Structure 1
Amino acid sequence: MSSEYDNIPTLTSIRSYYRLDNEFVNQGNYEKCSKYDKDSREYSKPYLLCLRLTGNLNNYEKLEFFDKLNMHKCIYLNLWAYNQLSNFEEEEHSDIRGLIIDNWRESGKFEACSNTQFISYLSKSEDYLKAKRLYDYALNYAKLYLYHEKSSIGCTPKDELYIEKSRTLYNDIKTECEDSRNQWRSYCAAYREIQNFYPHPQLLNLQCKSKVPDVYPHTGKAGQYQEQEDTEPEGDRATHSPEQAQPTLEGELSESSSSGSHKAAATALPILGFLSIGFILHKFTGLGSMARNFLRGRINGMNSHDELTNELLESTYDDQALPGITETYIGYQAT
């Protein structure tokens, strides 16, 4: 499978891992993490990882950005932790494993969320990758279903490829896990766990009812997933104290984020039928308020569509809550 097929900024998984990177980094344990800050000129990668990890653990109860799977957030915190480890050089892995395991154990949140899954992923990175992509598909399913099947919003080629690859992965894992010799593999454990919230074959039924191009011939403009180079200047790095580090730390995040930084030019998709008219699709842009006003006018009196419309509006609010995802997108595909 292509390593890039799941590199779509609007996926729930991408947005969730982005928030794990950034949401509580300023609430990490500066005292404990200071021992990893070896370079006075800039924040080291281990130091930032420590702040992110301790910030997330300190605020574990507030990690409420996993859509319909919030009750399974511990799974995704473990996946995120291993992804962080994978972004370090091989010779650094021993120290980074210790950083993650030690700070997790000392966080006081071990009973609420243990790092057992993280430790299980250490045995084979290929198994972790399959488990992560399967869990990510389960996390992404709700919005994909809402947009592309329930409301018939058109799929871009990247949407369609992601759904196709994810369904293929699901089927392949299902077949492999029927062999008792594979029961111990982490992706088989993931498959069994997913059955608890999306029983087979629900994840296989997702389809694109219509399609739209990535590039519109009449304008020559790219669709919502066009990437461009990061041109924002870095923040100053003058101090590392908790009080002074907070405003400058944000300038480090896009550069040092565990998956690298990209820009995405967010544009709208063309009009597709009544429900997909206009600015529903502008969930990918900064025109959220216009989209909501337009929708409310068009659906007035259409009681049969109330439930779907409410879901779409709620999803639009969710997307507007993190404008930085589309404007300063951090690619967080599985690696």
Structure 2
Amino acid sequence: MVIPDILIIKNEIKKNYNNDYSKLSLTSNRCYTKLDTLHMMDGEDEECKKLETSTGEYTDASLLCMRLKGNLKNYDALDFFEKMKDYKCKYLHLWVHDQLLKLKGVNETTMKSTLLGIWNKPEILEKCNSSNFISYLDKTDYIKEKSLYDYALNYENLENLYGKTDIISCTTKIEEYIRKSKELYNEVKSECEPSKNIKFQRSCYALKDIQTIYPNDELLKLECKHIEDNSRFRRQRDDGGHGLQGDYTETSSSGLPAQEVAYSDSQKAIGTAVPILGVLSIVHRIGFYGT
């Protein structure tokens, strides 16, 4: 029995991402969430409606159609890739291929044809060619390529949080992500040495791109100064305490890191409390001088 390539890739991704780094508060996760949501409604048209159910309900396929079309329409506005902004077309390719792998009950060839029909417009091809999207053939190399680009995208924020200061401790999950990303970097670097005579390996090109932004193997220099046990944080939280380290590894239901949500809630609380205290102060003064 021959297993379809799409199933092999899905199983490979599941195995490699069993630790579920998608739940960490990483720059790459926030960027992919924006690609999922920011411009989706700009892509709603008759072409994508054909992928809806017979009763007009959205399907995963119609939503992907809308998301891709919306992102391509607003390509110039996709300005959230920070230091890796010159490679936003690559990230768009990696994102849409990842989305395609997650679709269920859809013919892969038919869906690819639909997406390429959206992409292959002259005004779009000038800015972001669709060639990368159709060339993801090797499942292992795709995973390596995406993981490398994601780590490069995440590096600056991770370095600011954990590398430049010892105030914030890495959780075990963050430490694991950094360690495994560096191991992958070294693995690809070894595979892509000129003596190995690799003719075409996408992860080699990814490494070359990343080294133009982060030369001298800078991505290997990131180290966690302190590592905080997640189980300890959970115990502190269950006991009503607080753990700063958890703020940067958990994501709230709003999609923001827990620390940002907590800060926002604090601002709201302060914003409410200050006017009340001001009124009480005025009443107190009136009462004082009136006696």
Using structure 1 for the length normalisation, give the TM-score: 0.66
Alignment map for 1:1-335 (pairs within 5 Å): 2-5=16-19, 6-40=21-55, 42-89=57-104, 92-106=107-121, 108-121=123-136, 123-152=137-166, 153-178=168-193, 179-215=195-231, 216=233, 217-220=235-238, 223-224=246-247, 225=249, 267=258, 282-283=259-260, 285-288=261-264
Deviations, residues 49-71 of structure 1 (Å, cap 9, x unaligned) = 11000000000000011122222
* Alpha-carbon distance in 2 for matches of 1:266, 1:193: 29
Aligned residue type for 1:286: A
Alignment-derived partner of residue 12 in structure 2: none
Distance change in 2, residues 1:195/1:35 (3 Å): same
Bigger relative contact order, structure 1 or 2 (CA pairs below 8 A, ≥6 apart): 1
Distance change in 2, residues 1:36/1:157 (3 Å): same
Q: CA offset at residue 227 of structure 1?
A: 8.1
Q: CA offset at residue 30 of structure 1?
A: 1.0
CA contact (8 A) 1:149 1:209 kept: yes
Deviations, residues 127-184 of structure 1 (Å, cap 9, x unaligned) = 1111000000000000000000113221011110000000000000101111544341
Distance change in 2, residues 1:119/1:180 (3 Å): farther
CA contact (8 A) 1:12 1:143 kept: yes
Uncovered stretches (5+) of structure 2, i.e. residues with no partner? 1-14, 271-291
CA contact (8 A) 1:154 1:208 kept: yes
**Pairs aligned (count):** 243
Distance change in 2, residues 1:108/1:29 (3 Å): farther
Distance change in 2, residues 1:290/1:263 (3 Å): closer
CA contact (8 A) 2:192 2:198 kept: yes
* Alpha-carbon distance in 2 for matches of 1:55, 1:107: 16
In terms of Rg, which structure is larger? 2
Distance change in 2, residues 1:17/1:90 (3 Å): same
CA contact (8 A) 1:66 1:139 kept: yes
Distance change in 2, residues 1:266/1:28 (3 Å): closer
Distance change in 2, residues 1:69/1:289 (3 Å): farther
Aligned residue type for 1:220: D
Q: CA offset at residue 107 of structure 1?
A: 6.7
* Alpha-carbon distance in 2 for matches of 1:34, 1:199: 46
Deviations, residues 79-113 of structure 1 (Å, cap 9, x unaligned) = 11111111124861101111221110027211111
* Alpha-carbon distance in 2 for matches of 1:212, 1:36: 47
CA contact (8 A) 2:24 2:250 kept: no
* Alpha-carbon distance in 2 for matches of 1:60, 1:265: 23
* Matched position secondary structure for 1:36: coil
* Alpha-carbon distance in 2 for matches of 1:186, 1:127: 6
CA contact (8 A) 1:54 1:107 kept: no
Aligned residue type for 1:7: S
Which runs of at least 4 in structure 1 moved beyond 3 Å after TM superposition?
217-228, 262-267, 288-291
Aligned residue type for 1:197: I
* Alpha-carbon distance in 1 for matches of 2:128, 2:210: 18
**Equivalent pairs: percent with the same residue?**
35
Using structure 2 for the length normalisation, give the TM-score: 0.75
CA contact (8 A) 2:159 2:222 kept: yes
* Alpha-carbon distance in 2 for matches of 1:57, 1:77: 9
Structure with greater helix percent: 2
* Alpha-carbon distance in 2 for matches of 1:202, 1:60: 29
CA contact (8 A) 1:12 1:67 kept: no
